[in-house]
Structure 1
């Protein structure tokens, strides 16, 4: 395709993406419930509904501003040839193509993150603070950023170097070679995330002996689930919002409960939440998700191999010669519509898995305490009780609250 036409194609894709994204968000924010579900009578009143609505609108406006800012900046970068100018400027200082590509992508990453820093700060210390969710201190906020930079440079830099080296050395076959590298990395993250990465940001402590631990172990034994590692994470260090998750595979599997979750729920509700998480494991959802993610990465790498050596892509972004890093940036723009479609498919599978895990918890433990836990979680986090169906279809990895309650309480 002619470089000029390709440039306008990239700009058109970005424009279409932001239009769809903000249109769906607009539909969702206009979705105002016309009545309060009877099952939430004891949890929601008019004041709480008003507060929830205000929180949702605040986040909608914030997303609108940040989205438009990012869109306009990207369009300007493409139209003005900034991406190509940056490539030309770096070539004065760096001759080796591999290091040139590393430096180029590193500068764009750091620049993008620094531009988003004021928005992240505002969201944390203005919006989340105003609605009582933020527990993060300014020191923790900036330390998190520094740690993220170090991890990105060390881990991301090694992976990016491996990818670029293969692109330079292996030709079109690079995609399946790096796919193997990516698979090893994804398996390693699943196995060692809570041991190596998470402790850099949070403190994990074994769940203390007591009624809760006894009830959890008793339930796990009743469903034939070996469980030796139950940890509590200091989530309250950053937010009052609660969560729980599984990590690891096989004997390295761990259950992690947020301290805020323990503070906000009864032991019965906590065991029910854990039963839901065990349901994911018993139904092999963790393996399905891992395999699907691996396949998705393979598709992405194969498509990248069809674009990465196209000189016209570099010219469309303002370069004066083939530059693999320019083509890499162009690929991320071209791939975004397919990425959205793949994301929709992943979300559909995830929502199905959530229903199955709910059913497992209901069958092996009880539906009522899980329903009560979901109500408390949703109300305390000011979640949207009636999201728009199309927004759910595109973005929700979990079914809406009302749909889950209907199945749990039927």
Structure 2
């Protein structure tokens, strides 16, 4: 295969991905006005339903514009040999391959941020503000961005340097060592994410003694689930939308409740939501997801090791001499179809796990408060009650609200 042929294959993949995404979004858009399933007709009243329709349509149009801008930008970058130009700039600044790669990706990251930042700002302070979700101040928005950039530079740059060192030391076998490194990082992130990284952006305080904590602990004891760390996080600092999650293993295991969740749900509904999360633990979904993610990462790294130093890949991007960072970019672009397939598999597995966790909550607590909680959360976030099946298949990690309720009502 010639470099020019490979270049046009990359272009074709990008076009296919963009068109597929737009088709799926449009199909979903056409279902906004579908009749609401009978089991969720009580989620919205007429005024709220009209507001949810407007919210969905606004986001559809906004997504079309933002994705189109990004798509056109990457196509222009490719046709104008942008990667070759950035590679030349990076080599004029540094002569060490690791530093060249860090500078290269730094320039790419800055360019990407310049494109995405206006859309991020508009989405937060215009769309989310207009529909009453946004609680983020401009100061918080800026501080979050700066913290995110610093974390990306420090952690991303450090990881990139280690990966290239592995490549320089081990050659084509580098992927084994990087795979082990990624596994270790994944375990550490699962263990200590809430303790180390969440405090950089949010305040977490232990749940005070009271009826809610008593009910949570009583439920946990009835199902043999040790739960000593229950925290409230100030989610209302940024949004009115609610959430809750478990994190960590062993002694680091904790549940985190958004203050917005505590405000909007009854205590029985909160316990039901936590029963669902406990179901994920009891059914070993966390472990299965880690295993699936680990295997996918290993396969990806192995495949990358075959092409990392390919002159053909580099030349397809207009760069004559192959290098790790150029090979990584080219491989990433070519890997998109495989990524789509693995994404579909992982999403399907996730939806299956959600049904199982719902069933666990139903069997060990009650279905009614969980259903009521899911309806309230859908209502307060103006969720789509009539998603297109194809859009769900490709994009949803959770079944639709109606599907979850129907599954619980069968038992």
Normalising by the residue count of structure 2, what TM-score does the alignment of the two structures yield?
0.98
In 1, Cα distance between equivalents of 2:77 and 2:165: 27
- Residues 97-108 of structure 1: matches in 2 within 5 Å? 97-108=97-108
User: Residues 88 and 319 of structure 1 are in contact (CA less than 8 Å); yes or no, is this contact kept in structure 2?
Assistant: no
| 4+ residue runs over 6 A deviation | none
Between the aligned partners of 1:122 and 1:133, the Cα distance in structure 2 is 13
What's the TM-score, normalizing by structure 1?
A: 0.98
Moved more, 121-130 or 101-110: 101-110
For structure 2, list consecutive stretches of 5 or more residues without a partner in the other structure: none
Q: Distance in 2 between matches of 1:40 and 1:399?
A: 14
CA distance in 1, matches of 2:335, 2:34: 39
C-alpha deviation, 1:50, in angstroms: 1.4
Q: CA deviation at 1:33?
A: 4.4
The answer for the alignment partner of 2:74 in structure 1 is 74
User: For residue 5 of structure 1, what is the aligned residue in structure 2?
Assistant: 5
Residue-by-residue CA offset, 1:354-403 (whole Å, 9 max, x unaligned)? 00000000000000000000001111111110100000000000000001
CA distance in 2, matches of 1:251, 1:102: 37
Q: Measure the CA separation in 2 of the matches of 1:224 and 1:378.
A: 30
What pairs up with 1:108-257 in 2 under 5 angstroms? 108-257=108-257
Task: Provide the secondary structure at the position in 1 that maps to 2:342.
Answer: helix
Structure 1 regions of 5+ residues with no counterpart? none
Quote how far apart the aligned CAs of 1:319 are.
1.2
CA distance in 1, matches of 2:338, 2:243: 30
Q: 1:89 to 1:38 in 2, by over 3 A?
A: closer
Deviations 1:182-229 (A, max 9, x none): 111000000000010000000011011111000000000000001100
Q: Is the 8 A contact 2:304 2:331 kept in 1?
A: yes
1:40 corresponds to which residue? Answer: 40
Q: 1:27 to 1:41 in 2, by over 3 A?
A: closer
Question: What secondary structure sits across from 1:256 in the alignment?
Answer: strand
Task: Give secondary structure in 1 for the equivalent of 2:405.
Answer: helix
1:314 aligned onto 2:314: yes
**Cα offset for 1:111?**
1.9
Q: Supply the distance in 2 between the matched residues of 1:42 and 1:34 (Cα, whole angstroms).
A: 15
Which moved further from structure 2: 59-68 or 31-40? Answer: 31-40
Deviation digits for residues 123-160 of structure 1 (CA, Å, limit 9, x no counterpart): 00001000000000000001000001111111111111
- Paired residue total: 410
Partner of 2:389: 389
Q: RMSD value over aligned CA atoms?
A: 1.1
Structure-1 separation of matches of 2:79 and 2:196 = 42
